[in-house]
């Protein structure tokens, strides 16, 4: 019946239907995030997907995606990016066909002459200990440092960056050196650490969470308050911190914003803190690589501030 009605339409009537549809499709392609931050940004970039960072690493989560600038006459600095996801087992290529995440992060840095390793790691419910996720990330850092020279990357200029849950995990790796050490990595061998929209006090965070989210957090990092404190970045602020940058979006969730401001009050003289005006929790990451991207220039300045001894 629909096909019959279509055949009965005159040419003018068909144009009346087709033109708006084509216009909407064109508009959709134009605003399509992955076109604006990823698929249109891969020129002069060497992309290597699914690189295992463990010799026994058959788990697809224990792999990374590598983005390198093709035109480089000397070793370049690099970042290791750790995505978020406490409540859902996200992936390093989570919604990449639609939103560009998280390949857009790798492409944005490679376009600026900085290598990038976008790291996967095991998450809840595949693992029920947050330490397993931390150990995966630490071992990925060790692998990148060992492989760096073969990629044309300066192993002394590697910065580790995490967003959301990844911001918590990276900041904890930075402040509690025991985690890297038990995985054969010297914290001082990392040029810097960055937390974007992270969580830093797990006990305090419970008050912001839904019951199912709080249960997941206690499963991963609890079950008791002592264990939650041991896995909270804020518990280690009295120690001498490494080179660190904390970034948060002014429209972020309260659990992250309040933690950011508390960390700033405690570490303002020893670390750098930056607020991105008008952005939400995931918006800063989705906008990486787009026009008006506020996060990448801030991170790039921090990475380029590293100097090879």
pLDDT of 87 reads: 77
Residue 288 has pLDDT above 90, yes or no: yes
pLDDT at residue 28 is higher than 50: no
pLDDT at 5: 56
36 has a pLDDT exceeding 80:
yes
Q: What was the pLDDT predicted at 25?
A: 28
Per-residue pLDDT, averaged over 1-9, amounts to: 53
**Calpha distance 190→177 (Å, rounded):** 11
pLDDT at 103 over 50: yes
pTM: 0.89
The whole-number average pLDDT for the span 65-76 is 92
Mean pLDDT throughout 92-118?
96
Distance, CA of 169 to CA of 127 (rounded, Å): 15
Residue 250 phi/psi, 5-degree rounding, is: -65, -20
pLDDT > 80? residue 160:
yes
**What distance, in Å, lies between the first and last C-alpha atoms of the chain?**
75
Q: Residue for token digits 């797990």?
A: 202
Which residues touch 9 (CB under 8 Å, ≥6 apart)?
Answer: 17
Q: What is the overall mean pLDDT for the chain? A: 90
pLDDT value of position 72 = 80
Three-state secondary-structure class, residue 245 = strand
Share of the chain above pLDDT 70, in %: 89
pLDDT recorded at residue 29? 35
Instruction: For each of the domains in the chain, give its residue range(s) and CATH number, in order of start.
Output: 32-304 (3.40.50.1820)
How confident is the model over 164-213, as pLDDT tens digits?
Answer: 999 999 999 999 999 999 999 998 889 999 999 999 999 999 999 999 99
Supply 133's token pair.
């996720």
Query: What is the structure's pLDDT at 13?
Result: 53
pLDDT, residue 86, reads 86
- What number is the average pLDDT over the span 149-155? 97
- DSSP label at residue 266: H
Helix (H) or strand (E) holding 156: strand 153-163
Is residue 132 packed enough to be buried (19+ CB in 10 Å), middle (13-18) or exposed (0-12)? middle
């Amino acid at each position: 019946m629909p096909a019959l009605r279509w055949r009965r339409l005159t040419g003018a009537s068909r144009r009346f239907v087709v033109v708006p549809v084509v216009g909407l499709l064109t508009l959709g392609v134009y605003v399509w995030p992955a076109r604006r931050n990823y698929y249109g940004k891969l020129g002069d970039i060497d992309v290597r997907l699914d690189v295992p960072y463990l010799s026994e690493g058959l788990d697809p989560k224990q792999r990374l995606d590598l983005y390198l600038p093709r035109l480089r006459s000397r070793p370049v600095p690099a970042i290791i990016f750790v995505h978020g996801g406490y409540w859902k087992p996200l992936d390093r290529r989570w919604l990449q066909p639609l939103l560009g995440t998280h390949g857009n992060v790798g492409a944005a840095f490679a376009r600026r002459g900085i290598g990038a390793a976008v790291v996967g790691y095991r998450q809840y419910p595949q693992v029920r200990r947050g330490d397993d996720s931390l150990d995966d990330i630490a071992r990925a850092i060790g692998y990148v440092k060992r492989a760096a020279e073969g990629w044309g990357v300066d192993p002394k200029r590697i910065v580790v960056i995490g967003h959301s849950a990844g911001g918590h995990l990276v900041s904890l790796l930075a402040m509690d050196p025991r985690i890297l050490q038990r995985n054969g990595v010297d914290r001082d061998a990392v040029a810097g650490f960055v937390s974007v929209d992270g969580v830093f006090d797990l006990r305090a965070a419970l008050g912001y969470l839904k019951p199912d989210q709080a249960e997941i957090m206690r499963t991963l990092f609890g079950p008791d308050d002592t264990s939650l404190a041991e896995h909270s970045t804020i518990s280690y602020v009295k120690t001498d911190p490494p080179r660190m940058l904390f970034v948060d979006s002014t429209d972020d969730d309260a659990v992250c914003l309040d933690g950011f401001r508390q960390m700033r009050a405690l570490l303002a003289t020893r670390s750098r803190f930056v607020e991105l005006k008008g952005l939400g929790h995931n918006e800063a990451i989705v906008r990486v690589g787009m026009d008006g991207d506020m996060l990448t220039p801030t991170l790039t300045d921090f990475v380029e501030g590293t100097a090879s001894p």
